[in-house]
């Protein structure tokens, strides 16, 4: 930890700029006064878990901040926080006067990208916050879905499915944000165009209706397809649903007699690594 965060304060120039040119070198971590740092207005996270914050406050009180914040110089003086919102809040709750930080001169869209990536890599955004972050990249910086997917290490279908959640009524978006229903359930709801049926299905999901049951229910009353629809064994469907929730990706079980196979999909190298870690656990 000593090599990561030097014990001696790094000097700043009189104009407030860092003393070294490369802000990513480990010996260029600056200790900046908390009062000089303003929160990131482009922070994608809206909800901060009280339990998670309490744990972080206690950890910082005992060990200090082990991972530097990332800040950007402001034209009017001081700094704007790019990444490390939770650590910054916890530092203030602990009454810290200074925090370790890397100083980076970045553009507005890089600030949003860095804040999104940091949240996704450290403590997951809830699905609605994640979808809203993707939409901001598209609206504010004219990214298309393919560009957003590439930036975030996702597949385009994953990004498209996340964006569908934003079309839901506010009550349903809040239910997803607070974990009352899953993002998978939200995608099923987004596919129901009749608002009364959508609300009825939403209420049933709140009472415990599974995603698979919701998918079947959402098909009721729709014109029959030309091809015969195969109804999967409810037992297998339930296993698929649980695996999807645990692995956070599409899972398909194909069974023939007493044998079969489980197909687990991934859409990037990052997702493959996460799947490996989850399965090995």
Closest by Cα among 252, 255, 256, 235 to 243: 252
Q: What angle do CA 86, 90, 92 make, to 5 degrees?
A: 120
Q: What angle do CA 44, 77, 22 make, to 5 degrees?
A: 75
Write the CA distances from 181 to 65, 106, 193, 222, 235, integer angstroms: 34, 37, 19, 24, 21
Of these residues, 85, 118, 130, 271, which one is catalytic?
Answer: 85
The rounded Cα 190 to chain-centroid distance in angstroms is 20
Residue 112 backbone dihedrals phi, psi, to 5 degrees = -65, -40
Gyration radius (Cα) of the chain, Å: 23
Could you tell me if 34 and 96 are in contact, meaning their C-beta atoms sit under 8 angstroms apart? Answer: yes
The rounded Cα 227 to chain-centroid distance in angstroms is 38
Known catalytic membership, residue 85:
yes
Catalytic positions are: 85
């Amino acid at each position: 930890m000593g090599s990561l965060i030097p014990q001696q304060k790094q000097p700043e120039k009189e104009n407030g700029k860092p003393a070294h040119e490369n802000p990513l070198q480990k010996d260029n971590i600056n200790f900046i006064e908390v009062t000089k740092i303003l929160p990131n207005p482009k922070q994608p996270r809206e909800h901060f878990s009280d339990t998670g914050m309490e744990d972080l406050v206690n950890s910082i009180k005992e060990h200090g901040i082990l991972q530097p914040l990332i800040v950007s110089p402001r034209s009017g003086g001081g700094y704007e926080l790019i990444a490390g919102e939770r650590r910054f809040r916890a530092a203030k709750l602990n009454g810290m006067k200074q925090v370790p930080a890397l100083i980076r001169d970045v553009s507005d869209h890089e600030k949003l990208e860095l804040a999104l990536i940091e949240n996704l890599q450290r403590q997951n955004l809830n699905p609605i916050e994640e979808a809203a972050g993707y939409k901001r990249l598209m609206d504010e910086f004219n990214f298309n879905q393919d560009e957003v997917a590439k930036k975030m290490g996702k597949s385009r279908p994953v990004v498209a499915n996340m964006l569908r959640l934003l079309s839901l009524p506010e009550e349903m978006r809040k239910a997803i944000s607070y974990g009352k229903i899953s993002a998978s359930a939200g995608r099923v709801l987004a596919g129901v165009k009749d608002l009364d049926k959508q609300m009825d299905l939403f209420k049933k999901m709140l009472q415990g209706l599974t995603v698979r049951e919701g998918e079947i229910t959402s098909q009721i009353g729709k014109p029959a397809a030309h091809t015969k629809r195969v109804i999967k064994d409810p037992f297998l469907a339930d296993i698929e649903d649980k695996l999807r929730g645990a692995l956070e990706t599409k899972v398909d079980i194909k069974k023939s007699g007493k044998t079969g196979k489980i197909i687990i999909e991934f859409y990037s190298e990052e997702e493959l690594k996460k799947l490996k870690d989850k399965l090995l656990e």
